Structure 1
Amino acid sequence: MSAKPAVTVTAKKPTRAAAKRKPEPAVATSESIDDQIQAFLAAGGKIQSIPTGTSGQTYGGPRGRTAVKSAAKPAAKTASKA
């Protein structure tokens, strides 16, 4: 009888990441919202009344780039004909 060489099996690396579980859907009922409001008020919180049409958005320049002020350019030299 001839002896067969031992076969070693190596595990392959996964080709992609394992799938993540989807988070539970956010379900808020009017009762749970009322309970949260009551807990907030009981803890000393205050509710502000914001007039209709008021926005919390602040308007300004673009956020992606910062404005760079260039140094004042020296006055251009002109050749004078005399």
Structure 2
Amino acid sequence: MVRTPLTPEERERGERLGRLLRDARGPRSMVSVAAEAGLSAETLRKIETGRAPTPALFTVAALASVLGLSLDEIVLRCELAAAA
């Protein structure tokens, strides 16, 4: 299966998601948050740095739960940054 290239907007949204998750993680270690969400630290690292700009919904949902964010809040905060 060939993946279509991401648009600049999709890449930017992935970077905003990464910043949001990093900010929500605060002083907690990447390893502990990833483990609690059932992910590898490398997966979380890729999402936070924008190297994985389109993570699966269930991955985002698991991180949101661990970080005390709602999916609605994530969508709103990522999209608001695009409009600003």
TM-score by structure 2 length? 0.21
Structure with the larger RCO, 1 or 2 (CA within 8 Å, 6+ apart) = 2
Instruction: Tell me which structure has the larger Cα radius of gyration.
Output: 1
TM-score by structure 1 length? 0.21
